[in-house]
Each structure stands twice: as C-alpha cells, then as structure tokens.
Structure 1
Amino acid sequence: MSGGVLIAEDELIVAIDIETIVEEAGFSVADTCETVTATLAAIERALPACAVLDVRLLDGEVYPAADALSAAGVPLIFHSGHADEANLRERYPQAQVCPKPSSPSTLRAALARAME
C-alpha cells in the first residue's frame, strides 16, 4: 500500500477540495483520477491506504475500481451525489458513504476512521 489516499472524482473543483481536506487532515494524496480507467491504473501501480470515490466518473461508474479496492481490503469512502446509498451499503458493507455535498469535517472524520 502507498499510504496515501486515492481520489476518484471527475469534477476538478471538487477533486481539489478533497485533496485539500485530505492534506489538512494530515494524510497524503496517492493519486487523483477522473476516470475508471485511470483509477484502475493507479490501483495497479500501488494500493492506497484508503480511497474516496465518486460513483459517476467521466468514463462510467466506479464499481470496477471499488471492487478491486474492496477485494484488496482498502477502506472505501463513497462521496457522491448520484449514489444509491442502500445499494452501496449492501455491496460494500464496510464502506462509508458521505453524500455530496458533505462538509469538510464530515470527510475528515470519515478519513480518520478509514485510516485507523
């Protein structure tokens, strides 16, 4: 594992905000990706310590990457306005769900729990 936080987010401003929240919480950003393809490539390079995932990315839904991360035991934080929370909780019972928009304090708390 890289020790950093992988961010999968297709909206540039939101991605920058998440990067800032991660760094202000004392963690490093492993990679920021706007597509499922780039997210899968980042996972192949190095597993992150945790991941903050938007459900809808530029080239589709994040589930192939979430499945790979979950199988590897990487803690997941779904940060999305397009997510079916019940489906996410059923599919990824250990994941945290922070609907967009989430306050910085909510994301920091989720990161702290994921990085424990």
Structure 2
Amino acid sequence: MIKSELVQKLAKENPHLYPRDLEKVVNAIVSTIGEALARGDRVELRGFGTFGVKNRSARTGRNPKTGDLVEVSEKAVPVFKTGKEMRHRLNASPTQPKRKAKAAAANINSLVDA
C-alpha cells in the first residue's frame, strides 16, 4: 500500500472527513517520524512496531563490477521492528493460532505412534 492508497482507505472509512485533511494528517505523521529518526530518537507505535536508527561503522567493501576495494564511510540506517500484536496478526491462521495447531499435530502424532 502506498501513501495515496492509505489516504483513500481512510477517506472511505471516515466519510465525514475531507481527503485533503486526511492527506495532511498522514503527511504530518510520516514527517514527524522522519524528524524523530533524524534526531536519533526511537518511535514506538504500540501494536504496530518500533522505528529506530542503527549506526553502521566504517568498513572496507568491494566494488561488485571491478572487485576493487572501496572505503565505505560510517552511516546511520533506519530500522523497523514489528510489535508483538502485529507478529501475532501476521502469523496466526484464520481458523486457529499456530501454537494450538502445533499442539494438535503433536497430539495426533503421539496417538499414531502408540
């Protein structure tokens, strides 16, 4: 999903709000997260995930075309870690959670082996 699709979806779910206002809200959220990361802060959205910054130290790399050694400078890279609720939402089957499915499979295997 891209930002414009997010705005359209929010507009459908909230017909009392103007799409241009929703676009301003989405842009404000994204820019606030970006500004916080630029300062080196951590941004946590409960139930969704955490945005942070990780510093990579300087190293010697290789140019893939020529194979020559290249000095790569130190840099900061954004990282994202999903929240616990999001991981459960992504990994649970529609009918039952995976833990219960594994336990049921183990019970069936123990009955078959006996």
Same fold (TM over 0.5): no
Instruction: Considering fraction of residues, name the structure with more strand.
Output: 2
TM-score of the two chains, using structure 2 as the length reference: 0.23
Q: Which has the higher contact order (CA 8 A, sep 6+)?
A: 1
TM-score (norm 1): 0.23
User: Which one has the largest radius of gyration?
Assistant: 2
| Structure having the larger proportion of residues in helix | 2
